[in-house]
Amino acid sequence: MHPILAFRGRLGPYLAGWVPLAGLLAGLLAIGGLTWLQATVVAVPLAVVYAFMCLAAWYPCRSAPLRTATFAKVVVTQLAAAGLSAMLWLFLADTWVVFLEQFPAFAGVGERFPRLVVVLLAVGVVLYVLAAALHYLLIGFEEAQHAERNALMLEVAAREAELRALRAQIDPHFLFNTLNAISSLTVTEPDLARTMCLDLAEFLRESLRLGAVATIPLSEELRLAERYLAIERVRFGPRLRVERDVETAAETCAVPPLVLQPLVENAVRHGIAQLVQGGTVRIAARCSGGRLRLTVENPAGAGPAPGGSGLGLANVRRRLAGLYGDDAGLDARLADGAFRVELALPAPPAPAP
């Protein structure tokens, strides 16, 4: 699209920029022998007409773009367009002068006009070159905006793909074992099997809903983790114990959706499931100094390396880096027989629903 005509609010400033140019043209004509009245009446319409003619500079600029065309092609294309535009403008100027000579106040203008042909031709070329430069600037500006929009769209698409990948990483073993547990319970404890089915359905529904938004309150993320743990508690029974220590102020902090669930899943899969006696999963949250600290701790089983090389932890770390850069981080370590994962990230208040 034309960078001036396609956008409201650009044509007015463009034409306003030609006002001083019309004054300069009138001054040159006055120096060439015309009276100020004659020079003004000749110059102003010619400036207006040439302003619109120079809008056509967009087409040579597109045919010889600065980024891809050679320097010779740009120069030849623009000089040819400038010469043709200036000659057409000169023809219109001569026609305008012939028309004005019919009025007594402009008698003799046609006789003095030939002395101004060279000046007008040079002015026409210069004005066209300036218009072409302006169009190149506007085209560059539009391309930069387009590239920025594309970059933002790619970033959004990457984040959405990352969320989809995270949702897809709900442990297949978890689903397989849950369905097996439900199958076995349908005979011995049908009420418990039904409860487990409902919990699983609610967990999947909530994970899909929360994954569709940018941020959610920590309270919702905790509620999703609790649904997951409720399902696992049916499988593991008293082997799985949960302790929660969450500040009230932390529950209103905004967090990326599905950022806690992989940590809880790792705690169950690599900690509780590997120990005959089971253990306790501890979830803590603190908000202080505009930062939120989330901690998930479990007894050490055959878990991921202390450096946090597990797939779930790596995924969370990449998400934090993409969302917050160096302002957020994940620390995973093994100490005193417990595997501890701590998230630190900015703690803005969650948006109102």
Radius of gyration of the chain (CA): 37
- Average pLDDT (132-157) is 87
Residue 308 has pLDDT above 60, yes or no: no
Q: Would you state the pLDDT for residue 206? A: 80
Residue 168 has pLDDT above 80, yes or no: no
Rounded distance between C-alpha atoms, residue 232 and residue 268, angstroms: 8
Rounded distance between C-alpha atoms, residue 222 and residue 260, angstroms: 8
CB 323 within 8 A of CB 306: no
Least confident of 34-38, 318-322, 335-339: 318-322
Least confident of 22-26, 167-171, 198-202: 167-171
Q: Would you state the pLDDT for residue 281? A: 94
pLDDT-based confidence at residue 75 (cuts at 50, 70, 90): very high
Burial 213-223 (b: 16+ CB within 10 A, else e): eebbbbbbbbe
Least confident of 153-167, 240-254, 279-293: 153-167
pLDDT-based confidence at residue 152 (cuts at 50, 70, 90): confident
Largest CA distance in the chain: 114
pTM of the model: 0.54
Residue 130 has pLDDT above 90, yes or no: yes
CB 22 within 8 A of CB 47: yes
Rounded distance between C-alpha atoms, residue 132 and residue 135, angstroms: 5
Tokens of 219: 């309270």
Residue 74 has pLDDT above 80, yes or no: yes
Residue 159 has pLDDT above 90, yes or no: no
- Average pLDDT (205-216) is 77
Which domains does the chain possess? Answer: 11-159 (no CATH), 169-346 (3.30.565.10)
Four-point Cα dihedral 46, 48, 53, 58, nearest 10: 140
Give the percent of the chain with pLDDT over 90.
Answer: 37
Q: What is the pLDDT of residues 329-342, one digit of tens each?
A: 999 998 888 999 99
Q: Would you state the pLDDT for residue 310? A: 62
User: In sequence order, which residues have a C-beta less than 8 Å from that of residue 308 and are 6 or more positions away?
Assistant: 314, 317, 330, 331, 332, 341
- Average pLDDT (303-328) is 72
Q: What is the pLDDT of residues 83-117, one digit of tens each?
A: 999 999 999 999 998 899 888 888 888 888 888 88
Q: Would you state the pLDDT for residue 162? A: 66
Rounded distance between C-alpha atoms, residue 210 and residue 208, angstroms: 6
Rounded distance between C-alpha atoms, residue 305 and residue 303, angstroms: 7
Burial category of 336 from C-beta neighbours within 10 Å (exposed 0-12, middle 13-18, buried 19 and up): exposed
- Average pLDDT (170-194) is 78
Q: Would you state the pLDDT for residue 307? A: 43
pLDDT-based confidence at residue 302 (cuts at 50, 70, 90): low
Q: Would you state the pLDDT for residue 77? A: 93
What average pLDDT does the structure give for the chain?
85
Q: Would you state the pLDDT for residue 353? A: 55
